[in-house]
């Protein structure tokens, strides 16, 4: 497996683009920009993205488990009933959720994208992200899609990644290659996610492309097996969005032997897809709203993977742990406290806890009791960009890793006036 550049356009046959059409307000924008007249792109204001394959794709998706779902998810579900798609259209700045005309606007986005690209409306996955409850400015999208389609290119992944960002501070993009049946297969991805992220699906928006030849059924199997071990192990703030979606398109243009059984080819594809998803999950956790550091918690030697996951999720999701990490305070008691209310079975008297980072590691708890440690050393370890909380249960052979971020003053600032 090899890391490569290019994001969603790294696989053969995919192009992408991202423009500013006016859903996000930039200087000089009007509510209904004239057709074909695109506002100049203000920094950080791209708000309309396209991803298009030259050929029809096997397609699979997972969606938020929030009972309140945005209209684009229902439209996408309908379009993917046959297991196929060829393109993605997405906007940021407005979630098109719980809003007037939301279903009609989601369907109109597909119709307009089809008109601009020469495809059919049913070929499109549609997604939106942003403020809930406000009517989508469909006039801006209508005006913007011709220019967005004209901008499609093999270098367009960066623009598309930026166009789906909301409170994100950095784009999320990755791509890997592997060899299957003597052919180079590439998987690329872009994602957005910073707040309203909690492990209850696949979080955020994530668009994945691949030129692998694989059946819809096995593509769906891989997606549904990997999401619980990657995206579902991320938490930023305990909130699960109405718009979360992860979708994979596979156009088969690598010309590898079709993967239709869970053989060696499937295993290689699975490992590559897992690698991409793990990178995206870590990127999202690290860029949590207001975050200053990534928190990784690995629970080892558990009775089951489920137990390890529940314990690790409780630790990275604890507001007290997150606040302690923000202050670089080695308050390991908060780790055990979070584990204790997780309802997962474990014996506290057997637990060891270590804090580590790029500058070293420090044992802070042995067999459920504190040990002497140097506070200055702890402060130095916990002041790094990524802090690892390592928990050893000494009870079994299973483990799980979950990701989160610290809780800073900026999280409240960002969300105190997000709508206005």
On whether both 222 and 344 belong to a single domain, the answer is no
Radius of gyration of the chain (CA): 22
Q: Tell me how far apart the alpha carbons of residues 341 and 322 are, in angstroms, rounded to a whole number.
A: 16
| Active-site option among 117, 167, 203, 296 | 203
On whether both 329 and 243 belong to a single domain, the answer is no
- Rounded percentage of the chain residues whose pLDDT exceeds 70: 89
CATH number of the domain that residue 152 is part of = 3.60.70.12
The domain boundary residue, chosen from 269, 286, 303: 286
Q: Which of 192, 175, 54, 207 is nearest to 123 (CA)?
A: 54
Q: Tell me how far apart the alpha carbons of residues 238 and 225 are, in angstroms, rounded to a whole number.
A: 22
On whether both 134 and 209 belong to a single domain, the answer is yes
Number of domains, the chain: 2
The angle formed by the CA atoms of residues 221, 223 and 224, to the nearest 5 degrees, is 65
On whether both 282 and 298 belong to a single domain, the answer is no
On whether both 94 and 183 belong to a single domain, the answer is yes
On whether both 171 and 207 belong to a single domain, the answer is yes
Give me the domain span that covers residue 247: 2-286
CATH number of the domain that residue 403 is part of = 3.10.20.340
On whether both 212 and 248 belong to a single domain, the answer is yes
Is 332 in contact with 370 (CB distance < 8 Å)? yes
pTM: 0.86
Report how far apart, in Å, the C-alpha atoms of 377 and of each of 363, 382, 383 are: 11, 9, 10
Is 304 in contact with 345 (CB distance < 8 Å)? no
The domain boundary residue, chosen from 286, 318, 348: 286
Is 157 in contact with 4 (CB distance < 8 Å)? no
On whether both 170 and 274 belong to a single domain, the answer is yes
Residue in the block written with tokens 């600032």:
413
pLDDT tens profile 182-229: 999 999 999 987 544 454 443 479 999 999 999 999 999 999 999 999
Question: Is 167 a catalytic site residue?
Answer: no
- Give buried/exposed letters for 344-354 (b at 16+ CB in 10 A, else e): bebeeeebbbb
Q: Tell me how far apart the alpha carbons of residues 106 and 90 are, in angstroms, rounded to a whole number.
A: 10
On whether both 261 and 319 belong to a single domain, the answer is no
On whether both 131 and 228 belong to a single domain, the answer is yes
On whether both 152 and 239 belong to a single domain, the answer is yes
The domain boundary residue, chosen from 286, 311, 344: 286
pLDDT in tens, the chain (420 residues): 999 999 999 999 999 999 999 998 754 343 444 444 444 545 458 999 999 999 999 999 999 877 888 999 999 999 999 999 999 999 999 999 999 999 999 999 999 999 999 999 999 999 999 888 999 999 999 999 999 999 999 999 999 999 999 877 788 999 999 999 999 999 999 998 754 445 444 347 999 999 999 999 999 999 999 999 998 888 765 555 677 889 999 999 999 999 999 999 999 999 999 999 999 988 888 776 667 899 999 999 999 999 999 999 999 999 899 999 999 999 999 999 999 999 999 999 999 999 999 999 999 999 999 999 999 999 999 999 999 999 999 999 999 999 988 887 766 676 676 555
On whether both 264 and 357 belong to a single domain, the answer is no
Residue 378 — φ and ψ, nearest 5°?
-60, -45
């Amino acid at each position: 497996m090899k890391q490569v550049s290019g994001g969603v356009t790294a696989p053969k046959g995919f192009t992408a683009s991202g423009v500013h059409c006016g859903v996000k307000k930039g200087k000089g924008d009007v509510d209904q920009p004239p057709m074909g007249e695109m506002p100049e792109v203000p920094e950080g204001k791209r708000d309309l993205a396209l991803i298009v394959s030259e050929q029809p794709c096997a397609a699979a998706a997972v969606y938020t488990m929030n009972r309140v779902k945005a209209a684009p998810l229902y439209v996408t579900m309908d379009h993917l009933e046959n297991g196929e798609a060829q393109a993605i259209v997405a906007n940021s700045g407005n979630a098109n959720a719980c809003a007037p005309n939301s279903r009609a606007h989601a369907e109109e986005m597909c119709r307009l994208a089809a008109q601009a690209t020469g495809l059919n409306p049913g070929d499109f996955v549609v997604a939106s992200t942003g403020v809930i409850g406000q009517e989508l400015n469909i006039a801006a999208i209508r005006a913007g899609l011709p220019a967005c389609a004209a901008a499609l290119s093999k270098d367009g992944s960066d623009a598309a990644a930026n166009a789906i960002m909301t409170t994100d501070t950095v784009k999320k993009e990755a791509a890997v290659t592997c060899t299957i049946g003597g052919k180079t297969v590439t998987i690329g991805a872009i994602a957005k996610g910073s707040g309203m992220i909690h492990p209850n699906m696949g979080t955020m928006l994530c668009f994945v492309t691949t030129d692998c030849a694989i059946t819809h059924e096995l593509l769906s199997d891989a997606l549904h097996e990997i999401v619980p071990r990657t995206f579902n192990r991320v938490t930023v703030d305990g909130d699960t969005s109405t718009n979360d979606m992860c979708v994979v398109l596979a156009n088969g243009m690598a010309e590898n032997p079709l993967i239709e059984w869970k053989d060696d080819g499937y295993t290689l594809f699975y490992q590559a897809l897992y690698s991409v998803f793990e990178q995206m999950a870590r990127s999202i956790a690290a860029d949590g709203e207001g975050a200053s550091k990534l928190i990784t918690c690995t629970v080892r030697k558990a009775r089951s993977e489920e137990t390890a996951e529940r314990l690790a999720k409780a630790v990275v999701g604890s507001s007290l742990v997150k606040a302690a990490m923000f202050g670089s305070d080695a308050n390991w008691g908060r780790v055990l406290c979070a584990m204790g209310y997780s309802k997962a079975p474990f014996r506290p008297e057997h637990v060891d806890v270590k804090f580590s980072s790029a500058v070293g590691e420090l044992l802070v708890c042995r067999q459920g009791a504190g040990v002497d440690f140097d506070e200055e050393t702890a402060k130095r370890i916990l002041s790094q960009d990524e802090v690892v909380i390592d928990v050893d249960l000494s009870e079994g052979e299973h483990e799980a890793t979950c990701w989160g971020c610290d809780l800073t003053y900026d999280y409240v600032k960002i969300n105190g006036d997000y709508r206005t």
